[in-house]
Structure 1
């Protein structure tokens, strides 16, 4: 299977041209333009435990300023437009020996940069409800998703085609050749298999989602990391109303990954899945989830030069850990509270606990290019997260958000060395988006 953007493009265009709705109804290139200025203030502290000879803690505070412009489309059957962005990151506090959170770039001496900036953009064309973009893009899907967990969003260079021509059906096709990490100014950076640490020269994907009803939707995706793997993903999501203010949601995700081409990360034979159920009653939501990895290598996904992407749509991939180690089984219990019914709209709380065990890669055989095999056997770990978030609902500060996140991680010794050392961390994120026009 070779995934490519180009065969799908003429099909989408010819389908569109056959419809009377192809005539654009947009106001125009300028009239539909938007410009948003976002300020994001981010404090990140992580205290590493049981880490002899390693870095004791990471402590960085940074401020980001992002300007995002999105044009409308020229009028006519085929509309053209452009998107552009500029961003500036400023160091507020950090120093040598305290880096590594991913908020700031680090120089050759191990010192954080005082500032960093970049600009980029993309050109786009649209026919009816089918859109093609090329440039610095931020796709988000189960097999290729850029990250937004640090000061800026990581991006990738390539093509993306999205289509909503058919009711309830969304299609997404992409071809990407380079990445730009969230704390980097290099638009020609690497695209990697994150846990293997192996680069690929290109990534192709094809997929989409379909809403069978207001309650049930399904998704299917496939991707190819050239000379590393082919990965397939499926999802089913169902919500059932139980009565006034009550509902039950079931969400199932599954990935199948096999090595391909030159197998630069070694042999891969991995099936990973998760099932979660969430019961909502009034202001409360209670979630129970189970996740399982069947394979002697971890479930792996997109990475950039240093930071991970977000193409791990599994229930137990949370703040710090992914619970994706070889043969790992994990359970999650989560509670969410929305304070709006109690007279404080915009305020919410969340707490969760995930426990994983049965970690075992003692039978791993990756061949001459094997890039995994570090976890040992009988491994265990857990993570506890607590979060509070408030979003201003009205007035001049409307949409200003304040988010405080705390996490604690504990693992058996071999798992900690292979993945993430025991730690306690705090993240404080203040963000204010301002629509200029």
Structure 2
């Protein structure tokens, strides 16, 4: 099950060539495909949210448009699907009223036109309430809305929104992104420290226009609410640490920790180390069965000028798959690339090369090439517990009549170009090519995926 997963900052972390800015950032990820697929346009910088500096509800409001052309081809044993779609996102973010407490409103309108894609395209195009919808040619809906309040440097928001943390992070690798219904709090009262909390109950998934219950990605278990709290501390210009916890009601409690640090400069060699850990344990009614799982990854990257190399290692400790919430990129492990390398007891190793054209007289151009291998998967304990056909989890741990096991590997190539000037400034073209080879008894089979994405952002005011 491919993750193919957000946070443009995560890409920068993987081969950082500059220290992070002094303002506290949200938790990042060394999984470069998260940024390559999700940050399809260049996200505008988030200013320090100071109520004392408010210019009023109207003065700082803005309306942005993003046009996206999305083409996808996917091939696997017995499966061949394709899609071609155009989408438009119109996002209005109001400023805050003046005074000790500022109030504001946000709203987003999403629309999509399917140019190609038939049965099997699923959320690459449109999915109806009952799984139908292949013949739908165009659709539009409110992709986001919310009310918000700001005190000092803290913003509280309720509505249908996107969020960015190690558990909830929109899996934005289609023509339109998912959004989540709930409340979020982001506070930056202390310089260098970013604190978050939130609680969410529904999601508007990719390819759909209606709210549905949250569910786990691999187990497929629906649950009522997920709540989280956490913080990221930029302890120096070259390093940061994060600590988060969440609870998916009656499914699991999950904890996340990360540490990154960089030394040197790209004129000589800049080294960046990154380590992170998820610890997951069942709670309440344990709707997904017993869970006692730890998953960690470590990576070391080196950059000299335009060239960067990263070595990443990942391991799953436990008899269950490392799982996360569906429709999210909530898997910040370094080797979650084309597939997740998250089977019980699995280990994986990645070698990645990156090229940053701004340091080689080619501003706007970047490229990434990687290869990785997974081994040691062993789902025999869970397969024996649940049985090969016991719903709902037996089939998750069994492949072709045997417990999930075996080796697998993948290769990938992602070149990107961002237009630097002129009428099309900030337009972005990204090609994503991924090849995965899985053994007969591994959970992810052999597949080939090709995506071409062209995005163009525009600020109306």
The verdict on how the C-alpha distance between 1:112 and 1:99 changes in structure 2, with shifts beyond 3 A counting, is farther
The verdict on how the C-alpha distance between 1:103 and 1:384 changes in structure 2, with shifts beyond 3 A counting, is farther
Residue 107 of structure 2 corresponds to residue 80 of structure 1:
no
Shift of 1:379: 1.4
The verdict on how the C-alpha distance between 1:23 and 1:219 changes in structure 2, with shifts beyond 3 A counting, is closer
Within 2, Cα distance between the matches of 1:257 and 1:380? 24
CA contact (8 A) 1:45 1:60 kept: yes
Secondary structure of 1:212 counterpart: strand
Aligned twin of 1:102: 124
Within 1, Cα distance between the matches of 2:424 and 2:60? 24
Residue 363 of structure 2 corresponds to residue 345 of structure 1:
yes
Residue 338 of structure 2 corresponds to residue 316 of structure 1:
no
Aligned twin of 1:149: 173
Secondary structure of 1:72 counterpart: coil
The verdict on how the C-alpha distance between 1:366 and 1:172 changes in structure 2, with shifts beyond 3 A counting, is farther
Aligned twin of 2:86: 63
Shift of 1:26: 1.1
Map 1:124-273 onto structure 2 (within 5 A).
124-186=148-210, 188-241=211-264, 244-273=267-296
Aligned twin of 1:40: 68
The verdict on how the C-alpha distance between 1:370 and 1:35 changes in structure 2, with shifts beyond 3 A counting, is same
The verdict on how the C-alpha distance between 1:389 and 1:23 changes in structure 2, with shifts beyond 3 A counting, is closer
Q: 1:123 aligns with which of 139, 147, 153?
A: 147
Query: For structure 1, which runs of at least 5 residues remain unmatched after alignment?
Result: 1-20
Aligned twin of 2:350: 332
The verdict on how the C-alpha distance between 1:130 and 1:110 changes in structure 2, with shifts beyond 3 A counting, is closer
Aligned twin of 2:15: none
The verdict on how the C-alpha distance between 1:260 and 1:75 changes in structure 2, with shifts beyond 3 A counting, is same
Aligned twin of 2:9: none
The verdict on how the C-alpha distance between 1:206 and 1:293 changes in structure 2, with shifts beyond 3 A counting, is same
Secondary structure of 2:441 counterpart: helix
Shift of 1:374: 2.6
Secondary structure of 1:75 counterpart: coil
Aligned twin of 2:35: none
**CA deviation profile, 1:129-181 (whole Å, cap 9, x unmatched):** 01000000111111222221111111110000110001111000001111110
The verdict on how the C-alpha distance between 1:101 and 1:384 changes in structure 2, with shifts beyond 3 A counting, is farther
Within 2, Cα distance between the matches of 1:351 and 1:27? 45
Within 1, Cα distance between the matches of 2:446 and 2:138? 30
The verdict on how the C-alpha distance between 1:207 and 1:272 changes in structure 2, with shifts beyond 3 A counting, is same
**Greater RCO (Cα-Cα under 8 Å, separation 6 or more):** 2
Aligned twin of 1:18: none
Secondary structure of 1:265 counterpart: coil
The verdict on how the C-alpha distance between 1:366 and 1:214 changes in structure 2, with shifts beyond 3 A counting, is farther
Q: 2:381 aligns with which of 344, 363, 382?
A: 363
Q: 1:393 aligns with which of 420, 424, 428?
A: 420
CA contact (8 A) 1:408 1:425 kept: yes
Count of aligned residue pairs for this structure pair: 402
**CA deviation profile, 1:169-212 (whole Å, cap 9, x unmatched):** 100000111111021111x2121111000011000000010111
The verdict on how the C-alpha distance between 1:366 and 1:74 changes in structure 2, with shifts beyond 3 A counting, is farther
Secondary structure of 2:454 counterpart: strand
Q: 1:290 aligns with which of 313, 326, 329?
A: 313
The verdict on how the C-alpha distance between 1:167 and 1:185 changes in structure 2, with shifts beyond 3 A counting, is same
Within 1, Cα distance between the matches of 2:322 and 2:50? 42
The verdict on how the C-alpha distance between 1:312 and 1:243 changes in structure 2, with shifts beyond 3 A counting, is closer
Query: For structure 2, which runs of at least 5 residues remain unmatched after alignment?
Result: 1-48
CA contact (8 A) 2:113 2:137 kept: yes
Shift of 1:256: 0.4
CA contact (8 A) 1:86 1:117 kept: yes
CA RMSD of aligned residues (A): 1.8
Q: Select between 40-49 and 137-146 the one with higher mean Cα deviation.
A: 137-146
Q: Select between 101-110 and 396-405 the one with higher mean Cα deviation.
A: 101-110
